[in-house]
Amino acid sequence: MRLSALGRSVEILGDVTGLEQLLQQAMAPVWTPQVLDEVDKAYRLKRDGEGWAALDVGGEEEFLVALGPAELVAEMLALEIERWWCDALPDKVVLHAGAVAIEGLAILLPGRGGAGKTTLVRELLRRGGEYLSDDHAVIDLSGRVWPYPTDLKSLEGGQVVRLPPKTIGARVAGGPLPLGLIVATEYQETARWTPREMSPGEAAAFLLAHTFSAASRPELAMTITTALVASCSALRSPRSEAGTAAAEIITELQQRRRGGSVGMTDG
């Protein structure tokens, strides 16, 4: 089983019968089966009567996931592949961020886990946005945001619930889009939406703090984040109710677009 996404490829060795469908469901649709002579990374699946295990094939095989049920091993292996992929993409960086497109411009929502990104992404989609990402925003050297439409994930009753975009009526963006607005926001129960403009230095530092490859590829990460903040406005504000914040963010983007102050050159 060989899969490829945006210029990087992996091979899953071993008998994947019974796990192949689960693994593909756990990964973004941009990971597609390919016929390849060579791959960039290899993993091996093993199983016995007690369950599955996943190993990293590199020099010596290293256990990533010990024996467990198929669903858990598929989820953990998908996370491991994504972790490697985020650090290995050519000419792109990946931010821990949600992203939604409004009228052909991407809104980038960087944030840590638990900051409320998924809730805000869903509200923006409900207001006509096109889905780009829930947690992994892919940015190239020209500042375009690429679709990485994984299932949206939320925590309900202590359990992770997966929501495929189509189940909530979300349209997935058809290709990379120029960035229109960066929004630094986090849920706070009693907060009011009071946005302020971030300076280029503050915005760049904020983006770097949420860039997966900032430590391993600092020059590329700095090049892309510096270009983003030089050509796109960045706002910071806490928020409470996601619907109010989503409406205000869309208004901000539309006002800035009419004023000619948003949108990097596409290409």
Report how many domains make up the chain. 2
d(CA 101, CA 202) in angstroms, rounded, equals 24
Buried b (16+ CB within 10 A) or exposed e, 194-225: ebeebeeeebbebbbebbbbbeebeebbbebb
- Residue 53 is predicted with a pLDDT of 76
DSSP assignment letter at 142: T
Q: What is the mean pLDDT of the chain?
A: 86
What 3-state class would DSSP assign to 37?
coil
**265 in a domain, yes or no?**
no
- Residue 18 is predicted with a pLDDT of 77
For 174, residues 6+ apart whose C-beta sits below 8 A from its C-beta are 147
Distance of CA 230 to the CA centre of its chain: 22
Q: Report CA-CA distances (Å) from 178 to 83, 226, 231, 234.
A: 25, 15, 10, 14
Residues 104 and 229 reside in one and the same domain: yes
Residues 82 and 98 reside in one and the same domain: no
Residue 17 has pLDDT above 90, yes or no: no
Residues 71 and 99 reside in one and the same domain: no
Q: Which of 70, 86, 102 is the last residue of a domain?
A: 86
Q: Report CA-CA distances (Å) from 190 to 193, 242, 258.
A: 10, 12, 32
DSSP assignment letter at 168: G
- Residue 264 is predicted with a pLDDT of 44
Residue 265 has pLDDT above 60, yes or no: no
Of 155, 156, 137, 157, nearest in space to 147 by CA = 137
**266 in a domain, yes or no?**
no
Kindly state the average pLDDT of the residues 63-75: 74
For 157, the domain range is 92-258
Q: Which of 86, 117, 147 is the last residue of a domain?
A: 86
Sign of CA dihedral 204, 209, 211, 217: positive
Q: Which of 40, 68, 86 is the last residue of a domain?
A: 86
Reported pTM: 0.86
Of 158 and 174, the structure prediction assigns the larger pLDDT to 174
Residue 252 has pLDDT above 60, yes or no: yes
